Amino acid sequence: MILEAEHISKRYAEKQVLQDITVRLEQGELVCLLGMSGVGKTTLFNVLSGLTRPDSGTVRLKGEEITGTTGHLSYMLQKDMLLPHKTVLDNVALPLLLNGTKKKAAREQAAGYFSQFGLEGTQTKYPAQLSGGMRQRAALLRTYLCGDEVALLDEPFSALDALTRADVQEWYLHVMETIRLSTLFITHDIDEAILLSDRIYIMSGSPAVIAAEITIDEAKPRGNDFMLSDAFVRYKRRIKELLL
């Protein structure tokens, strides 16, 4: 068990947002937190990353308590958050630079991942010169280079148009095959959750609770065939029933 969040509760003023939420993440696993917009996914995300302190409950990374402290998990948001004034290479190398790596070494190390992440030829470009999909790729590489053992991804692809999103999801599955980053992935997109995850936690209600946990038993990488299969539809039907 690499990340454990147990019995997390959080209330803002009069509103109880999270109620006794427990989620766990195994080494190398990709787990989705699936819920409607506004259910409290991002609040949970903030608790896990340490930006918000929960009213009760603990967050543990490899057994060590990290509740309410930042800097242990890498994260990535819907907005790519690339710095407009840095080239793609310098953006991606930033976490290495911040850790005290020398500029040249940081650049070299980061450049080594460009082809694996499908970012060839973008090194000297500025983020504004890239498409939305490419920017999210660069943001994911930067997240990866933060070097933390767990990555939190908060709806990273939801700002992309449908075709680009499908493309980026396929790319993401492919990259994950090689880097095996333990990832907690927040989404409101049922298809995305089924396609990408090993396990899905379904968050629903107000205050939000974990309504169900579903394991997706399907070999990776998954492609179009899986998305059109009966198994996929069965998962989807079950999740829809649980969400509503």
Q: How far apart are CA 200 and CA 182, in angstroms?
A: 14
Q: How far apart are CA 58 and CA 69, in angstroms?
A: 11
Q: Which stretch binds another protein (CB under 8 A): 7-15, 31-39, 77-85, 213-221?
A: 77-85
Cβ proximity to another protein: between 97 and 173 the closer is 97
Q: Which of 36, 67, 126, 218 touches another protein (CB under 8 A)?
A: 126
CB burial readout 193-231, b (16+ within 10 A) else e? bbbbbbbbbbbbeebbbbbbebebeeebebeeebeeeee
Verify binding: residue 79, another protein, rule CB under 8 A: yes
CB 136 within 8 A of CB 81: no
Q: How far apart are CA 17 and CA 221, in angstroms?
A: 35
Verify binding: residue 49, another protein, rule CB under 8 A: yes
Cβ proximity to another protein: between 99 and 215 the closer is 99
Verify binding: residue 74, another protein, rule CB under 8 A: yes
- Total count of residues recorded for the chain: 244
Q: How far apart are CA 212 and CA 202, in angstroms?
A: 5
Cβ proximity to another protein: between 147 and 205 the closer is 147
The site that binds another protein (CB under 8 A) totals a number of residues, namely 24
> Structure tokens of 47?
């608790």
Verify binding: residue 159, another protein, rule CB under 8 A: no
Q: Assign residue 202 a region: left if phi > 0, alpha if psi is -120 to 50, beta otherwise?
A: beta
Verify binding: residue 75, another protein, rule CB under 8 A: yes
Verify binding: residue 73, another protein, rule CB under 8 A: yes
Residues between 81 and 100 with contacts to another protein, criterion CB under 8 A? 81, 83-86, 94-95, 97-99
Compose the 96-125 pattern: x for residues touching another protein by CB under 8 A, - for all others.
Answer: -xxx-------------------------x
CB 22 within 8 A of CB 8: yes
Q: Which stretch binds another protein (CB under 8 A): 8-16, 54-62, 80-88, 197-205?
A: 80-88
Residues that bind another protein (CB under 8 A): 49, 51, 70-71, 73-75, 77, 79, 81, 83-86, 94-95, 97-99, 125-126, 128-129, 146
